Amino acid sequence: MHLIRRDPTAGSRRTLWRFGYSARLLKTNHSRTAASNTSFPAVWMLLAQHPGRIPGLSAVAQKASFCTMRETVEDNADPELYSPHPEVRGMTLLNREAFKRTVVVPVLKVKKEIVHTLMKSLKHAVLRRPGLKRVIEDPGDEGSKLVILDPHKVPEFSLGQAEQEVLKQLNIPPEVSRYNLELTYENFKSEEILRAVLPEGQDVASGFSRVGHIAHFNLRDHQLPYRHLIGQVIIDKNPGITCVVNKTSIIDSTYRNFEMEVLAGESNLVTKVKENNISYDLDFAKVYWNPRLSTEHGRIVELLKPGDVLFDVFAGIGPFAIPAAKKKCVVFANDLNPESYKWLLHNCKLNKVDNKIKAFNLDGRDFLLGPVREELSKALALEKEEQKPAVHIVMNLPASALEFLDVFRHLLVGEPCSAAVLPTVHCYGFSKHENPAKEIQERAEASLGASLDGRCSTYLVRNVAPNKEMLCISFQVPADVLYKRPCPAEEKPASKRLRTNKDFTEEKLAS
């Protein structure tokens, strides 16, 4: 989001103010470009015209010949263009009219015929604000227009050398006038509006996730009294967003969705999203969807080759499964949430891969012990080594997927397959540990009952919260774990005491 930038010329203006130029500024209507002694930012003028609004300003105006400007007034000077009327502070019901304020800006009077040419040459100096016309009618002259300049680019109403040169070439008098410009709600950005409304010095709610037509917030306590206003501002300022929701509980339900309150707009939470060029429909109130996982979905799908087999144990609405099927993989996708399963089937049809994906609505453990075991046995029992497909098993349920890994212990019986075709697991986990990769590996080892030293890689997916990371550990399930009979070809790693799930539970309780 946009951040308010400080004007680099503020320091020099401060000095000039101290030397008493304010009186001249208040009287002057025009300033020649060469007249650098009318050296004040236009936006200050209005403050001086309405001194009652700024404590201390009237005293300053009276002592115009020499004074020290209060720091607070100086700080107010620059951002006027970027801050709505101060009276909106604390507003909880959106009143768009109250945001109006008038600022004084520099304008150039230009003959109608050459406005276009001038705009091209002077575009960097022209005022840009959302929804603001940069060229307006000249009320006093039908044959001319007024071009609104940015007071920060034309400080103190004084055009720089380059601008003067442009004007000279176009035969335009280098005369900058002051113009009372009314800024309205439409001319402010959402962050500027929220910064003006919410308590001073506290975080404004500017960051949200977008899921189709829905903006999804996770508001803090101090922002809650303003939540409906925040919702409306976000709808007003973001084309395409027609519904704003706030998370009202932490994400701990079985199905990884969360309770939410509609703050503004329509209550329809069925939406359409596009990720890595694939469209999905979903009901945001009932299924899990996180737009921050698109890179990770893409990363895993990138590892797959046509003909590979993918088992997606916690598939959601299909962001691994559907692109994999599109890539001509054989896909088995599962989710326990009946709503996710329903949308998974819907999205398979939507993307015309319903004949390439077999979908299940089972607990992950039952899926692994049932369909996965059956299909794995078949695939790995194929006679010729080269017929055996590469098998990937994705387990994206970071809060608990690592605890499902014990299912792989002796999942298959018989003669172990060659190491090359052992299935590869991509299992996700959260960690708050100072060495998250080490901790995730230890937890995976505890579940599997085998060391993964030198046989796994961990990938940092994203930072979920301060000190909380989401990781993906990938490894081929060791043959001596997967098969009931130990594989003689596989060398046992140097013995080390593996921590068990019980150890982790006890550690958690102790801390």
Ligand X SMILES: C[S@@+](CC[C@H](N)C(=O)[O-])C[C@H]1O[C@@H](n2cnc3c(N)ncnc32)[C@H](O)[C@@H]1O
Instruction: Detail the residues annotated as belonging to a binding site.
Output: 297, 335-336, 363-364, 396
Judged by CB, which is closer to ligand X: 99, or 289? 289
CB of 507 to ligand X, least distance (A): 23
Listed in sequence order, the residues at least 6 apart from 409 whose beta carbon sits closer than 8 Å to its beta carbon are: 448, 449, 481
Q: Which helix (H) or strand (E) holds 323?
A: helix 321-326
State which of residues 7, 74, 175, 363 lies at the interface with ligand X (CB under 6 A): 363
Judged by CB, which is closer to ligand X: 337, or 447? 337
Give the SS3 label for residue 479: helix
Q: Which residue is nearest to ligand X (CB)?
A: 316
CB of 347 to ligand X, least distance (A): 12
The verdict on 332 binding ligand X (CB under 6 A) reads no
Judged by CB, which is closer to ligand X: 51, or 370? 370
The verdict on 429 binding ligand X (CB under 6 A) reads no
The verdict on 256 binding ligand X (CB under 6 A) reads yes
The verdict on 478 binding ligand X (CB under 6 A) reads no
State which of residues 16, 150, 255, 303 lies at the interface with ligand X (CB under 6 A): 255
Distance (Å, whole) CA 450 – CA 400? 19
Listed in sequence order, the residues at least 6 apart from 453 whose beta carbon sits closer than 8 Å to its beta carbon are: 493, 494, 496
Judged by CB, which is closer to ligand X: 144, or 294? 294
The verdict on 60 binding ligand X (CB under 6 A) reads no
Chain positions 338 to 357 lying near ligand X, rule: CB under 6 A, are 340
Chain positions 374 to 403 lying near ligand X, rule: CB under 6 A, are 396-397
The verdict on 335 binding ligand X (CB under 6 A) reads yes
State which of residues 314, 408, 475, 483 lies at the interface with ligand X (CB under 6 A): 314
The verdict on 212 binding ligand X (CB under 6 A) reads no
The verdict on 319 binding ligand X (CB under 6 A) reads yes
CB of 449 to ligand X, least distance (A): 21
Closest of 308, 340, 301, 303 to residue 324, by C-alpha: 301
E-strand spans in 252-308?
Answer: 260-265, 270-275, 278-283
Distance (Å, whole) CA 315 – CA 323? 12
The verdict on 336 binding ligand X (CB under 6 A) reads yes
Q: How far is CA 302 from CA 94, 295, 324, 490, in A?
A: 47, 10, 9, 29
Tokens read off for 467: 């000190």
Distance (Å, whole) CA 112 – CA 91? 42
Choose the binding region for ligand X from 179-187, 334-342, 407-415, 500-508 (rule: CB under 6 A).
334-342
CB of 396 to ligand X, least distance (A): 4
The verdict on 244 binding ligand X (CB under 6 A) reads no
Phi, psi of 76 (to 5 degrees): -75, -25
Q: How far is CA 112 from CA 109, 145, 175, 277, in A?
A: 9, 6, 16, 46
The verdict on 95 binding ligand X (CB under 6 A) reads no
- Binding-residue total with ligand X (CB under 6 A): 20
Listed in sequence order, the residues at least 6 apart from 494 whose beta carbon sits closer than 8 Å to its beta carbon are: 453
Give the SS3 label for residue 342: helix
Closest of 379, 451, 447 to residue 417, by C-alpha: 379
Q: Which residues bind ligand X (CB under 6 A)?
A: 254-256, 288, 290, 293, 314-316, 319-320, 334-337, 340, 363-364, 396-397
